[in-house]
Structure 1
């Protein structure tokens, strides 16, 4: 603590779902990027089942921010305490609590508390942090409420899958192709436009137009977080096609004795109220799952195949 004034906020919502379901969604922070709009990526660094250390990336007032979060889970009281280690300026200290309380009738009261201090306690900096906390807290509570209240259908709404390609070339060459997304419009036929900025090394913000098999154009916006030494690029679409409520993914390349395996992973939450609008009257979630699986898989596999050709051609030329 540096002596600055402690600012406190409280946000709450009533959820028409069992308290155990609500707590389960909060406790699994690695899945937050798929479930919570502001969250981009979460890496679990350490855990013993109760105490955990997380590296988190999220948007705050339109900016990509990152920090280390320490959390203590207490499933008995359904509370999760958290605190940021080395928060980004202007925040000096940020801590808080998720509290889940069972209400009569089987509903749940979910409360999110924050305590924070701001370096120098300047009014404009305090206002910036308050706005970010308020915007993100409201978005997280609304999203969590919507998911929890559909908990009996989550298995139908959420799908995860992956595709892979074998490459007879070093992993570094494949990763280089996937990392240079700014070059994709001239390298990948189904990408017609891509605008990319990388103000922070390793954090790429991009807008992309993708052609579908029927000739339609999907415009998406994404944030990509790159781990070149691990051969990984994780991403979240911050603007999704109509059929997807959320979409996260990962490109990874792994070297083995017999070459390199390039993998494209996807996780999606379907937008149920858009199914008939997009796929036609009478369409259901089964058809939507198949459509999204085929569309995403087709495009990502095509990208992996092009990465394979690029890498193998470099090896041959060398």
Structure 2
């Protein structure tokens, strides 16, 4: 097409980790929200081990954007080719590849290539897109390097757990309570404030203040992506404090024959060397116990209140 211009961008970083470890990090997109700061959520749509189709929500220039990707994985060659299905203007086509090369025992080189076809009639927009792509690539490579180089202790820093409750009430009422976080102050005891902005339907930017059992007040900034038809809400803290490096949560309502099951599932990546504050004692054991008790207890409170909300409404109908 006349006026098109193709940009080829290549980035690389040397990593003090085995090539197989590095490849595994980029192959499993479902864990990107823990490992990449800009990644909010990844929804895998189809995967057969080689062909991968998924939707991402990520922070770009202060805004949360959703994108749809296809990938082809070649584990033997440690190569992943990808393309964005419907790129936003001025990009007409956006694709590329990840490759991992072993350079020495326990060392590797991670490379990312981008191929961008842009609208030649919008040079300023194209320049901004190339700059944004360069900035995002540099940040991704730096974070993946940091994560991969902790591979021998990564499992000790990862923590997952869930809380659940059974509800004799409709899934819609439970979901409405979970989605309506702006109404939690005054209804949920530990939530002191909740400021909610919704720049587009289903994507909530939330700033909360909560009080822990010890009376400590914690401020958190969170992005929540809501799926009302599936009765799911996924969220990620965008500026986690000690001892957290990353924290994601999924609230889900699973309808049954006579009742529903409500889950709060947490995924946490702890900081490698926690500083001062709750849960920052020697090693990671204190941090794991603190995080489990804090978020587990708060989730149980929310689930119990959602149960009461749904069951009380049913009895009064």
Q: Is the 8 A contact 1:247 1:268 kept in 2?
A: yes
- CA distance in 2 between counterparts of 1:58 and 1:2 reads 32
- For residue 295 of structure 1, what is the aligned residue in structure 2? 294
Asked if 1:285 corresponds to 2:281, the answer is no
Distance across 1 between alignment mates of 2:233 and 2:90: 28
- Quote the residue 1:59 is aligned against: 59
> Where do 5+ consecutive residues of structure 2 fail to align?
none
Mark the CA change 1:243 to 1:146 in structure 2 (over 3 Å): closer, same or farther.
same
Distance apart, 1:308 and its partner CA: 1.0
3-state SS of the aligned residue for 1:182?
helix
Mapping for residues 90-239 of structure 1, pairs under 5 Å: 90-239=90-239
Structure with the higher fraction of residues in helix conformation: 1
Runs of 5+ consecutive residues of structure 1 not aligned to the other structure: none
Aligned CA distance change for structure 1 residues 42 and 282 (closer, same or farther; 3 Å): closer
**1:135 Cα deviation (Å)?**
2.5
> 2:77: which partner in 1?
77
Change over 3 Å in CA distance of 1:234–1:279 after alignment to 2: closer
Q: Taking structure 1 as reference, are residues 3 and 253 closer, same or farther at Cα in structure 2, changes over 3 Å only? A: same
- In 2, the alpha carbon distance for the partners of 1:4 and 1:281 equals 53
For residues 6-35 of structure 1, the C-alpha deviation after alignment (integer angstroms, 9 at most, x for no partner) is 122222111000000000011001111111
What CA distance in whole angstroms lies between the structure 1 residues aligned with 2:220 and 2:16?
A: 32
Report the Cα distance in structure 1 between the residues aligned to 2:169 and 2:236, rounded to whole angstroms: 28
Query: Cα 1:134–1:283, aligned 2, differ >3 Å: closer, same or farther?
Result: same
Q: Is the 8 A contact 2:101 2:108 kept in 1?
A: yes
Structure 2 CA distance for aligned equivalents of residues 107 and 70 of structure 1? 29
Shift in Å at residue 117 of structure 1?
2.5
For the structure 1 residues 281 and 86, does the alpha-carbon distance in structure 2 shift closer, same or farther, using more than 3 Å as the test? closer
Q: Structure 1: how far apart are the matches of 2:42 and 2:165? A: 26
Q: What RMSD over aligned residues (CA atoms) do the two structures have, in Å?
A: 1.6
The Cα offsets for residues 131-160 of structure 1, whole Å up to 9 and x where unpaired, read as 322222122112111111111111100011
Q: Within 2, Cα distance between the matches of 1:251 and 1:88?
A: 30
Shift of 1:91: 2.5
Q: Do 1:66 and 1:88's aligned partners in 2 also have CA atoms closer than 8 Å?
A: no
Q: Secondary structure at the match of 1:213?
A: coil
Q: Return the offset for 1:85.
A: 0.3
- Give distance in 2, aligned partners of 1:63 and 1:305: 33
Q: CA deviation digits over 1:110-131, x for unaligned, max 9?
A: 1111111334542331233223
Aligned position for 2:20: 20
Which residue of structure 1 aligns with residue 246 of structure 2? Answer: 246
Q: TM-score, normalised by structure 1?
A: 0.95
Partners of 2:297 and 2:229 lie apart in 1 by: 27
- C-alpha separation between the residues in 1 aligned to 2:255 and 2:232? 12
Question: Deviations 1:76-117 (Å, cap 9, x if unpaired)?
Answer: 111100000012333221101111011124311111111113
Q: Give the C-alpha shift of residue 272 in structure 1.
A: 2.3
| TM-score w.r.t. length of structure 2 | 0.95
Q: Which residue is 2:305 aligned to?
A: 306
Contact 1:65 1:88 in 2 (8 A): no
